Structure 1
């Protein structure tokens, strides 16, 4: 167990971003800056946690948007001078909790910090899974897994024999949607949308019946062919042109779950030319956040663990982009891979040794 530190390195928001953030530190327009912060003494029920893994999520981009209206955000925006928020997995190095002892592995909302102070009511004690890296707790057993599970089960209510299209299929959420829809819920046809041929082959290996590369010149034609007869449901992770196209490829009275719009996060607003399809075909579009379902997290963990144990869900090296930083200053650069397609599956930053 490491000694108890008095300070921690942290990355704070220096310049809220209007368009593309500046990920490199040390510039006048850098989005983030490195600071050394003092660690407060623990109060009863609190934990000091050494960060091991940082979860990289597209939603973080919206939290640092310049001039964001707090009334329209689902969580408070990060203000300039505040630590960048993120989900973390780490080891408890000091505890004033009766329920979570020192040495435990926990998952918690924290931030881009080497050490975080968190409350035992918000931190979740997690147990290592034999043969599987602890990154599973920011992937299948974290936000991506919960989003995939509740999006399929509660939002889309996908039934056995129904068809589904998944955009961002090779992403952290998308690859779990593909697997769970096909192997657990019994979808008749699962169609993935990806951005490279390598990703297409991987998603096919996970069970997708068809995969379309949105960067192909004839993408629209291929999507129409893959969705011949139309599909029952669409799980949207990207927004933009793909969402617009899919409005015309879902069956009458079809369902669309919308949980991401990464194509528009850096100043590229979505334009919908097919919006009348929503009216003419009475489509049900349901936007949702994983935060809406956190009270049901044990249900998701149990279902996802069962699927994992039965071999219906895979946690494999190819389904995770793990980057071990050489210095804490590299954390924003790793996060930037989300917006350039530089990851397959869940993008995780490792900032210290695992337990």
Structure 2
């Protein structure tokens, strides 16, 4: 193929205050700069879709309250991705290398080697493994289950968002690796709940069921939860708080119910006082020093059959023009496990 001289890149046109709208993003065509020493020309193959990206682009967000710089109006939409090196002036990453790193919603780019995390990890029939089982998804679940919650075999654990990328992995770590006494997942719909149980959960409760709160209580078999891995917030958290054991602990990993500007009220905060519950938020970037060892451990558990690698992602193909629409699937419950976008070339119509 000829070497590209321009890129198509999605920028933030109108920072959203609530849900993402058609005019939130704008697709631009820009010339690619010449390579300088240490630069590589990449073609993006896969993009990670993460709820956290939504927080980075929020309208009027105070940058002092974010853990990474926000995406400002006119900025490219940042995303972790996997790319192939087409041209290189880097001693680390020669032409033909497949790499992962902090990229953006674009098809081609010239990036410095400092933006590259390392070589992409591949598994048979899973060229995007660096974005799922060996990526931020697994490391986040690892940090929450082992470091923040310190789950033990005698614990009863609730995992909300259990059919999502992080939640589904947290279920497996808690039950299949640690052997927690009881692991109860929360997911949306019977099909997703059945899948969560296939991953190892003792029970999974459908939050869409009108009797959700009562069903969640029943799933605990008359006990209270020692540990909660929280990904959702809102009504799910309201139903969970009265079921946490005295001196129990909740790890707040995400709050997808509020990412589109919604602010569901939490009505059971007094439970935290009366039952002396510990709440701790955490961000995976606080765990960078243990990242390599976490990935190494996950690889071992995969070999032992304790962590699944088959059918644990939703991979959607898209041209660069369709990337925002695929990202929005995160907020409609359309994905099961990690949502990955595979970039494909646009075919010309005859």
Scaled by the length of structure 1, what TM-score is found?
0.93
> Which residue is equivalent to 1:150?
143
Change in Cα spacing, 1:85 to 1:282, as seen in structure 2 (3 Å) is same
> Which residue is equivalent to 2:324?
332
> Which residue is equivalent to 1:277?
271
Runs of at least 5 residues in structure 1 that lack an aligned partner in the other structure: 25-29
Is 1:250 matched with 2:244?
yes
Is 1:47 matched with 2:46?
no
> Which residue is equivalent to 2:104?
111
> Which residue is equivalent to 1:350?
342
Is 1:172 matched with 2:165?
yes
Aligned-residue offset at 1:148: 0.5
Aligned-residue offset at 1:127: 4.8
Aligned-residue offset at 1:46: 2.4
Is the contact between residue 313 and residue 336 of structure 2 (CA under 8 Å) also seen in structure 1? Answer: yes
For residues 155 and 298 of structure 1, what CA distance do their matches in structure 2 show?
A: 18
DSSP 3-state at the match of 1:201: helix
Aligned-residue offset at 1:121: 3.5
Alignment RMSD, CA only?
Answer: 1.4
DSSP 3-state at the match of 1:274: coil
Is 1:235 matched with 2:252?
no
Alignment deviations for residues 238-270 of structure 1 (CA, whole Å, 9 cap, x no partner): 111111221211111111110100001112113
Q: Which moved more, 1:274-283 or 1:120-129?
A: 120-129
DSSP 3-state at the match of 2:262: coil
Is 1:82 matched with 2:50?
no
Aligned-residue offset at 1:128: 4.4
- Equivalent runs, 1:1-355 vs 2, <5 Å: 2-22=1-21, 24=22, 30-227=23-220, 228-317=222-311, 319-325=312-318, 327-352=319-344
Change in Cα spacing, 1:233 to 1:50, as seen in structure 2 (3 Å) is same
> Which residue is equivalent to 2:348?
none
Scaled by the length of structure 2, what TM-score is found?
0.95
DSSP 3-state at the match of 1:173: helix
For residues 42 and 83 of structure 1, what CA distance do their matches in structure 2 show?
A: 20
Aligned-residue offset at 1:118: 2.9
How many residues align? The count is 344
DSSP 3-state at the match of 1:107: strand
For residues 329 and 122 of structure 1, what CA distance do their matches in structure 2 show?
A: 24
Change in Cα spacing, 1:46 to 1:297, as seen in structure 2 (3 Å) is farther
Alignment deviations for residues 194-235 of structure 1 (CA, whole Å, 9 cap, x no partner): 001110111111110000000001101001111221011000
Change in Cα spacing, 1:46 to 1:296, as seen in structure 2 (3 Å) is farther
